Amino acid sequence: MADDADGNRGAGGDFAWALSAAPVQDYLERLHAELAGIDGGALADYIPELTRADRGWFGIALATVDGHVYQAGDSRQPFTVQSISKAIAYGLALEDHGLDAVLAKVGVEPSGEAFNSISLEPATGRPLNPMINAGAIATTALVRDDQEPALSRLLATFARYTGRHMGLDEAVFASERETGHRNRAIAHLLRGYGILERSPEEATDLYFQQCAIRVTARDLALMGACLANGGVNPVTGVVALKRRYVDKLLAVMSTCGMYDYSGGWIFNVGMPAKSGVGGGIMAVLPGQFGLGVFSPLLDSKGNSVRGIAACERISRDFGLHMFNVARATSATVLRRSYDCRRVRSRRGRSAAELAVLDAEGGRIR
Ligand code: GLN
């Protein structure tokens, strides 16, 4: 496939897909068939149970903000979400405690280091960001459990994103619990610094459970679509994440979501994303769609080889890099700003409604 002079790649041979009645579906199927031939990479084996995956599994799903879901290949094959859960847990921790309290425990700087590195600020012990293990363990430990167990809350949160009941792969959980000494060591360091307020064992158990939640590529696409859609699940209409935290979560996914490939990823693909060693990648094009790709063969940084290839191709074939904004459509977005305390509609309001507007109108812009 040839690049044109601007470096844009043509989207598939004879363009027959573009003329078909179902162009997105046809495109995904062709892309899937083409990339299924890639067989580089290796299964994650430091969690022994993950080696039971089939090297051939490969699914792609795309869910738009208007609720259409397109799928190709093994898009309904369950696998464990692993590090992609870090994004969901971060959103929940933000909802539970607000930005400042979470920032006090976990930073937002890319570490440039491997996902399991001990990337802590030397003076405070604060993990650099919530997308690496150290930051994720600290984040997960923040999930409230005063009303309901934290795991139930995590599962319920996932269910809001995916629109279906979620469960754990108990064998993968047990396997990581058995072998996860490095994560446990990180948790002890965090406890020593006072970043963790729970016991390290409790925190890592919850973290291992969250990593063992079973998802499909289709689920990842829907999760991404919620984030593309201001936090609202486009199929069910349920709020998966409060709108005010969506940009914050997408920001850390953009800078830190692909471990020590985050810079190269945002350069090449240009979409906030999160990957996991189960072989999943969840990518988001804000305002447009969520993309879920699953293939368990990983590169040396722990990212799915076919998953990266698929996302790179989709981004390139359609010119979807988020900074690739056509000038013609980019009229200034912010022209003047009012809130509803200062400017009211002309509709007649009851005294009670006016009181609410007086108190809360400053939040409407
Ligand atoms: N549970 C895995 C771990 O902590 C998640 C890592 C990953 O997906 N990168 O090692």
187 touches ligand 1 (CB under 6 Å):
no
pLDDT beyond 50 at 1: no
Question: For the purposes of burial, counting CB atoms within 10 Å of the CB of 303, is it exposed (0-12), middle (13-18) or buried (19 or more)?
Answer: buried
Atom of ligand 1 nearest to the CA of 133: 4
pLDDT beyond 60 at 13: no
Kindly indicate the confidence band of residue 18, based on its pLDDT and cuts at 50, 70 and 90. Answer: low
pLDDT beyond 70 at 15: no
231 touches ligand 1 (CB under 6 Å):
no
Atom of ligand 1 nearest to the CA of 212: 1
269-314 pLDDT, tens digit each: 999 999 999 999 999 999 999 999 999 999 999 999 999 999 999 9
Kindly indicate the confidence band of residue 115, based on its pLDDT and cuts at 50, 70 and 90. Answer: confident
115 touches ligand 1 (CB under 6 Å):
yes
225-284 pLDDT, tens digit each: 999 999 999 999 999 999 999 999 999 999 999 999 999 999 999 999 999 999 999 999
158-176 pLDDT, tens digit each: 999 999 999 999 999 999 9
**Helices of type H across the chain:** 16-19, 23-35, 85-97, 99-105, 133-140, 150-162, 170-179, 181-192, 200-211, 217-228, 243-256, 262-268, 305-318, 351-360
Kindly indicate the confidence band of residue 17, based on its pLDDT and cuts at 50, 70 and 90. Answer: low
Query: Does the global pTM surpass 0.75?
Result: yes
Q: What is the pLDDT of residue 3?
A: 42
119-147 pLDDT, tens digit each: 899 999 999 999 999 999 999 999 999 99
**Interacting residues of 68 by C-beta distance below 8 A, sequence separation 6+:** 24
Q: What is the pLDDT of residue 19?
A: 66
Give phi and psi for 299, each to the nearest 5.
-85, -175
80 touches ligand 1 (CB under 6 Å):
no
Compute, in angstroms, the gap from residue 287 CA to the centroid of ligand 1.
29
- Report which of 47, 32, 93, 70 is spatially closest to residue 309, judged by C-alpha positions: 32
Give the chain's mean pLDDT: 92
